[in-house]
Amino acid sequence: MRLEQRRNSAFTLIELLVVIAIIALLLSIVMPALRKVKEQARKVVCAANLSQTGKALETYEMTYDYKRFEMRKNGSETDAYWWGKLAPFFGNTHYETDIKKGKVIDVLMCPSAPASKFDLAVQVPAGPGGATGTWGAADRPWEWDRTDGISTLGSYTINAWVGHDYLYDAAVGRQEYMYRNWLDVPPTVPLFGCGTWTASWPMGTDLAPTDLQGGAGGGMVQFCIARHGRAVNLIFKDLHAESTKQLEDLWYYRWHKDYQQPPIGTIVLPSE
Ligand SMILES: [Zn+2]
C-alpha cells in the first residue's frame, strides 16, 4: 500500500522530460525579451554618460570664457587629449589621475562596449605598429596609448568640429568647417556619440561603411556602427541626448559649420 502510494506520487522520467521541455520552451520565449531589456538598460546608462560628458564640456567652456575647446594642447602627442581636459569637470576628482594604463574613466565607457571587451588580439592597431593605440569596434572600446604612460579606454567619439586641435586646424579643408567659438555652435550640433575612436570629423560626403562593426577609418564611419541595435546615442550642444532611429540619420545631423545635408537616398548601409 505504502509502496504503491510512493510510486503514484513520484515523477516518471517522461513527466520529468516534459517539464524540462516546457521550461526550455518558456526560457526560449523569455530570453530574447530579457536580452532586449538588458540592451535597453545599457542604452539608458550610455545616454546618461554622454549627458555627463556634454555637461562637462559646457562647464569647461563656461570656466574658460567660451574660448575654443582645446582637445590637445598644441597638438601634443603626449597630452591627455579631450578627456584629460574634461576630467576635472566629470564630477569625480579621481578621474584626473585615471589617465594611465589600467585605470578606467567610467563615464567614457558605453556599457555596450565596456572595458572588459577590450582585446588586443582581435582589435586593429592605430598608427604605425599601434603607436597611437587601438581602434574600437561596435562592441569594443578604443584605446589611446602613449609610450609615456598616458593611456585611456573609451567608447565615445568627439565631434572634433567643435574642438580645436593645433595639428588639424592647420589642415586644408578643415579650417572652414570648424566652429571657432562655443557660443556660435548651434543647439543641434552633435558633441559626442557612441564611437570607435577618440575624435572624428564627419562630412556629408563620407561614404557609407561596408560593415557596421567599426575599426579603422575616419569621419562618419566612427559613429556608423551596430551598437545598441543600430541606435547609437549622441549628445547635442543643447545637452539633449538622442538615439538614431536608423544609422542613416547620422548623415542628416549638422556636424560642422557648413554642413550640407546629402540628398536622400544616397546612403545605403549593410543590413548587418
Ligand atoms: Zn552607447
pLDDT 10s digits, 90-101: 988 899 889 888
E strand or H helix that includes residue 177: none
State the distance from the centre of ligand 1 to the C-alpha of 109, rounded, in angstroms.
Answer: 8
Average pLDDT over residues 26-51: 93
Q: Across the chain, what does the average pLDDT equal?
A: 89
Average pLDDT over residues 9-32: 90
Is residue 137 included in any domain, yes or no?
yes
State the distance from the centre of ligand 1 to the C-alpha of 177, rounded, in angstroms.
Answer: 26
pLDDT at residue number 263: 63
Q: Cell numbers 551598437 label which residue?
A: 227
Contacts of 272 (CB under 8 A, 6+ apart): 212, 226
State the distance from the centre of ligand 1 to the C-alpha of 40, rounded, in angstroms.
Answer: 10
pLDDT at residue number 260: 80
State the distance from the centre of ligand 1 to the C-alpha of 35, rounded, in angstroms.
Answer: 16
Note the pLDDT tens digit of each residue in 109-119. Answer: 999 999 999 99
State the distance from the centre of ligand 1 to the C-alpha of 245, rounded, in angstroms.
Answer: 14
Is residue 52 included in any domain, yes or no?
yes
Q: Does residue 2 surpass a pLDDT of 60?
A: no
State the distance from the centre of ligand 1 to the C-alpha of 64, rounded, in angstroms.
Answer: 29
CA pair distance 241, 93, nearest whole angstrom: 24
State the distance from the centre of ligand 1 to the C-alpha of 261, rounded, in angstroms.
Answer: 24
State the distance from the centre of ligand 1 to the C-alpha of 194, rounded, in angstroms.
Answer: 5
pLDDT at residue number 170: 72
Q: What is the Cα Rg of the chain in Å?
A: 23
pLDDT at residue number 51: 97
Residue ranges near ligand 1 (ion) with Cβ within 5 Å: 46, 110, 194, 233
> What totals of helices (H) and strands (E) does the chain contain, helices first?
4, 11
Is residue 264 included in any domain, yes or no?
no
Q: Does residue 3 surpass a pLDDT of 60?
A: no
Note the pLDDT tens digit of each residue in 180-232. Answer: 889 999 999 999 999 999 999 999 888 889 899 988 888 999 999 999 999 99
Which of 160, 156, 154, 157 lies closest to 174 in space, CA to CA?
160
CA pair distance 140, 156, nearest whole angstrom: 11
pLDDT at residue number 271: 83
Range(s) of the domain holding residue 195: 3-252
* Percent of the chain residues past pLDDT 90, beyond the cut: 60
pLDDT at residue number 5: 54
Burial 99-125 (b: 16+ CB within 10 A, else e): beeeebbebbbbbbbbbebbeeeebeb
127: left (phi over 0), alpha (psi -120 to 50) or beta: left
pLDDT at residue number 264: 59
For residue 182, give the 3-state DSSP assignment: helix
Is residue 258 included in any domain, yes or no?
no
pTM listed for this prediction = 0.88
pLDDT at residue number 187: 97
**Count of domains in the chain?**
1
pLDDT at residue number 265: 59
Q: Cell numbers 565607457 label which residue?
A: 109
Is residue 111 included in any domain, yes or no?
yes
pLDDT at residue number 149: 79
Q: Does residue 236 surpass a pLDDT of 60?
A: yes
Is residue 123 included in any domain, yes or no?
yes
Q: Does residue 242 surpass a pLDDT of 60?
A: yes
State the distance from the centre of ligand 1 to the C-alpha of 139, rounded, in angstroms.
Answer: 9
Alpha carbons within 13 A on the beta-carbon side of 151: 17
CA pair distance 225, 212, nearest whole angstrom: 4
Note the pLDDT tens digit of each residue in 138-175. Answer: 999 999 988 777 899 999 999 999 988 777 777 777 77
pLDDT at residue number 196: 97
pLDDT band with cut points at 50, 70 and 90 for residue 9: low
Is residue 271 included in any domain, yes or no?
no
pLDDT at residue number 66: 84
pLDDT at residue number 218: 85
Is residue 27 included in any domain, yes or no?
yes
